[in-house]
Amino acid sequence: MKTLLRALAVAALSTFGHATAQDFPNRPVHWILSQPAGSSPDISARLVADQLSKTWNQQVVVDNRPGGQNVIGAQAAAKAPADGYSYYFATTAALVSNPLTFKSLPYNPERDFVPVAMIGKSPMVIAVNNSVPAKTLAELIALDAKDPGKLAAANEGTKTFGGMMSQLLNVATGMHLLQVPYNGVAPALQDTVAGRTQVVLVSSAAMSPFIKRGDLRPIAVTASKRVSGLEGVPTMAESYPGFEYVGWFALVAPAGTPEAIVRKVNADVNAVLERPDTLKRLLELGAINEGPGSPEQLAQFLKDERVRWAKLVKDINLQPE
């Protein structure tokens, strides 16, 4: 009798999930974002959200919750209803590096969210002020070796994605670049253009306008393969095999969100991301989509990233606070 009841319950849940997915969405869908309006993640999120709104004939509302190194937005998303109408447009920091740099968090990335879809990866670019004679990474290493600590590297903050990457650059190459943390990407870039710092490492999206104007000279990217639009710039992996650290955007949902809806959203997001105009615009924003993927593939990617970033934090001897 118990076996029969269990089988009936499973069948009922399966039917409910299928029916829920069939009429989804029948009201607006909310995407919570940890970054402010006008930022690269925000523009990317709105690009995909607008396309989905047309597909679904329901508005996808992007809800900006910036601040606290992504903690405010992540916490709000973790506490949102798991009904298929709330999602978190997450970044590397929120789901991977924050647990390694904070002693405690008001949310648990592994427990509180389920993977939905990968949006795109955003490689970092290492660039120098035009007065720096080094035109390659090898030349920069040699220049630093002549006077260790003289060259200053600007970054967006010690425990930010870019800040940790900048510190890892020293560890990986043996350089002694003086690390200069700023309160954000813009002042770090501006001071490097002005020559107050000589090296800067930020996302390709933030760096792109400065490279196009000739304000900064790119010498390496942190992706595993060369980046579209920067094909002439070598990867770190070409000199240091296995080196790959990129930022990324991924869509996740509160734990408990019906699986049938998760799979529908995954399929619909993948369809939007396969459109040439969407891919082109994402690329202009510094985000590279590598093709459709399943929730399971995103889950494995997140698992691998947590291992990778745990090694990075150990390598640079960063202590959580």
Q: For residue 161, give its domain range.
A: 123-239
| Of 211, 239, 267, the domain-final residue | 239
Between 123 and 108, whose confidence is greater? 108
- Would the pLDDT of 86 be above 80? yes
- What percent of the chain has a predicted confidence (pLDDT) above 90? 67
Mean pLDDT across 194-213: 92
Locate 33 and state its tokens.
Answer: 């974002």
pTM for the predicted model, two decimal places: 0.84
CATH of the domain at 127: 3.40.190.10
Q: Is there a single domain that holds both residue 7 and residue 105? A: yes
Q: What are phi and psi of 271, to 5 degrees?
A: -65, -40
pLDDT at 20: 64
Q: Is there a single domain that holds both residue 97 and residue 132? A: no
Q: Is there a single domain that holds both residue 78 and residue 144? A: no
Q: Which residues of 273-301 are buried (b: 16+ CB within 10 A; e: fewer)?
A: beeeebbebbbebbbbbeeebbbeebeeb
Can you tell me whether residue 248 is helix, strand or coil?
Answer: strand
Tell whether omega for the bond before 28 is within 30 degrees of 0, i.e. cis. no
Q: Is there a single domain that holds both residue 118 and residue 254? A: yes
- Would the pLDDT of 17 be above 90? no
- pLDDT (tens digit per residue) in 185-199: 899 999 999 999 999
| Of 218, 239, 260, the domain-final residue | 239
- Would the pLDDT of 15 be above 70? no
320 part of a folded domain: no
Q: Is there a single domain that holds both residue 281 and residue 251? A: yes
Q: Is there a single domain that holds both residue 175 and residue 287? A: no
> What is the separation of C-alpha 42 from the centre of its chain, rounded to a whole number of angstroms?
12
267 part of a folded domain: yes
321 part of a folded domain: no
Q: What does the alpha-carbon distance between residue 210 and residue 207 come to, in Å, rounded to a whole number? A: 6
Mean pLDDT across 93-110: 93
268 part of a folded domain: yes
Confidence of residue 161 (pLDDT cuts 50, 70, 90): confident
Q: Is there a single domain that holds both residue 84 and residue 136? A: no
CB atoms within 10 A of CB 319: 8
- Would the pLDDT of 16 be above 80? no
Confidence of residue 321 (pLDDT cuts 50, 70, 90): confident
CATH of the domain at 283: 3.40.190.150
Q: Is there a single domain that holds both residue 40 and residue 130? A: no
| Of 173, 205, 239, the domain-final residue | 239
Q: Is there a single domain that holds both residue 216 and residue 258? A: no
Q: Is there a single domain that holds both residue 227 and residue 306? A: no
Mean pLDDT across 150-172: 90
Locate 313 and state its tokens.
Answer: 């934090």
CB atoms within 10 A of CB 215: 17
Q: Is there a single domain that holds both residue 168 and residue 226? A: yes
* Domain count across the chain: 2
Between 122 and 110, whose confidence is greater? 110
> What is the separation of C-alpha 231 from the centre of its chain, rounded to a whole number of angstroms?
21
pLDDT at 243: 86
Q: What are phi and psi of 120, to 5 degrees?
A: -175, 160
254 part of a folded domain: yes
Give me the chain's average pLDDT, please: 90
- Would the pLDDT of 1 be above 60? no
Q: What does the alpha-carbon distance between residue 116 and residue 95 come to, in Å, rounded to a whole number? A: 13
104 part of a folded domain: yes
Q: What does the alpha-carbon distance between residue 237 and residue 241 come to, in Å, rounded to a whole number? A: 4
Q: Is there a single domain that holds both residue 57 and residue 74? A: yes
277 part of a folded domain: yes
- pLDDT (tens digit per residue) in 211-236: 999 999 999 999 888 888 889 999 99
In angstroms, the first-to-last Cα distance of the chain is 54
